[in-house]
Amino acid sequence: MTIEVSASANAYTNEGILVTATATATGDTYEVAEEIAFENAQSAANTQANLLNQEKAIIGNLVISKKVVIVGSDLIPPNVEVWIGRKSAADNSWSSVCYGNGLFVAVSYSGSGNRVMTSPDGITWTSQKSAADNNWFSVCYGNGLFVVVASTGQVMTSSDGITWTSQKSAANNSWSSVCYGNGLFVAVASGGQVMTSPDGITWTSQTSASNSGWSSVCYGNGLFVAVASGGKFMTSPDGKTWKSQDSPVYNSWKSVCYGNDLFVAVASSGSSNRIMTSPDGKTWTSLKSPVDNNWTSVCYGNDLFVAVSSSGSSNRVMTSPDGKTWTIQKSPVDNAWTSVCYGNDLFVAVSSSGSSNRVMTSGYYGADLSVQGNTTIAGTCTAGSFITNSDYRIKESVKNLDEKFSIDELRPVIYYNKNIKRHDIGFIAHEVQEIFPFLVHGEKDDSQLQSLNYNGFIALLVKEIQELKKEIQELKKK
């Protein structure tokens, strides 16, 4: 018998895990052996899978021995209402994260030979050797290059995020932020300095608008915008000539970004006014922040602004679709979150505190997986609920259970499951098969493990309980 296995999906799992399976053809059954990835909803619906980079329809039974996730081809909004703590490559003081060339890169101002970590998906992170153990404070990507600046005055670059090279900065200043725009890298320092580079390698000092403690710089709408911890703003069309701009409130502005035709800045100080916006980088409007946390970083992606904080109680994330109306989101742990970025349909944040959990990511909206055929999972399957089809239209020859259906001959046992390596309670499949053969799949000592339909016992137990209740009622009448 040929059974067609089809899948329909349009998203990631809520845990943000890529849906993969493994399979090789063995007659009418595909057993998990080599990795398959359903790359998009359409290919899954067409029963196409990428097996060793070759399109192949899955026909027969699908046996899965690894975690499976179906990934949709359409752009699925990240679920910013759910944030998930991730294991960092090391418990360093991570100060900045960015995304470029298919890779997340985070940098740190602590650690020994491992002040860089990278991830292709924002979930699994790998330590990388930095060019030197400097106080790396900000990383950005542009023109095919990752560029990092340090509060100790240095610069390092990498084309792949793995191999890093030290570069000579324009001056040994305390560089706090770097960005790329209009063919130019621009870095600002907490001592008031600015430097620029067309390639990330050769740097030139520029004159800033004032000697303020510049904390962040970004590019958007043909303009570089920098904010300072002393409440100052400055702008430049070319990164070289800078002009001071008026600020409605003199908070300690920590981060600025651009998206949806709007500049948005967040601060670590102020009274219910730790957000400001500007359509042009020159005229700014003070907005009400939902809570007065120490907001450290803001970014824009997928039509959404996201900011993170280093203080607060389970409320260290806030989001806004327009930069004006903000909603607090629950953070998974109260770490000192220092930086957030967007890439690969995911928001990723890093922190300078925490125990093996100094990364968090947004979740994903769930998707439906429809398999027409048999699916075997050789491992633990976890779900919010399990629902079995029970429509009358799929049933015929329906009869009430009679006295022949009894639990008397069943042998409940406790045992150690060697596959999942833990104790469990249940029945032995071949023993049940002697009593209720239709509840058991497979044959004893066959090449395939026997399985048991435990749902079938529900009706049996209900019938037995009904009879017991009836007997009890009869006894009460005597």
Decide if pLDDT at 371 tops 60: no
248-257, 318-327, 379-388, 459-468: segment of lowest average pLDDT? 379-388
- Compute the mean pLDDT over every residue in the chain, rounded to the nearest whole number: 84
**What's the rounded mean pLDDT across residues 387-397?**
87
Decide if pLDDT at 202 tops 90: yes
Decide if pLDDT at 107 tops 50: yes
| pLDDT of 231 | 84
Give how far Cα 404 sits from Cα of 11, 396, 426, 430, Å. Answer: 47, 20, 22, 19
Decide if pLDDT at 138 tops 60: yes
Give how far Cα 430 sits from Cα of 25, 35, 61, 363, 416, Å. Answer: 27, 32, 22, 42, 17
Cα-Cα-Cα-Cα dihedral sign, residues 288, 291, 293, 298: negative
Split at pLDDT 50, 70, 90, the class of 366 is low
Decide if pLDDT at 255 tops 70: yes
42 or 109: whose pLDDT is higher? 109
9-13, 247-251, 350-354: segment of lowest average pLDDT? 9-13
454 or 71: whose pLDDT is higher? 454
Q: What is the pTM of this model?
A: 0.66
Decide if pLDDT at 58 tops 50: no
Task: Give the pLDDT confidence of 1-17 residue by residue, as tens digits.
Answer: 233 333 333 333 333 33
- Beta strand 116-119 pairing with 103-108: antiparallel
**What's the rounded mean pLDDT across residues 133-154?**
97
Decide if pLDDT at 369 tops 80: no
Domain boundaries defined on the chain: 1-76+365-387, 78-364, 398-478
Task: Give the pLDDT confidence of 399-447 residue by residue, as tens digits.
Answer: 999 989 999 999 999 999 888 788 999 999 999 999 999 999 899 999 8
Split at pLDDT 50, 70, 90, the class of 336 is very high
Split at pLDDT 50, 70, 90, the class of 61 is very low
263-277, 309-323, 354-368: segment of lowest average pLDDT? 354-368
What type of residue sits at position 385? S
| pLDDT of 82 | 85
Decide if pLDDT at 213 tops 50: yes
Q: Which fold has domain 78-364?
A: Methylamine Dehydrogenase; Chain H (2.130.10)
| pLDDT of 386 | 77
33-37, 85-89, 394-398: segment of lowest average pLDDT? 33-37
Task: Give the pLDDT confidence of 17-35 residue by residue, as tens digits.
Answer: 333 333 333 333 333 333 3
Task: Give the pLDDT confidence of 172-194 residue by residue, as tens digits.
Answer: 999 999 999 999 999 999 999 99
109 or 345: whose pLDDT is higher? 109
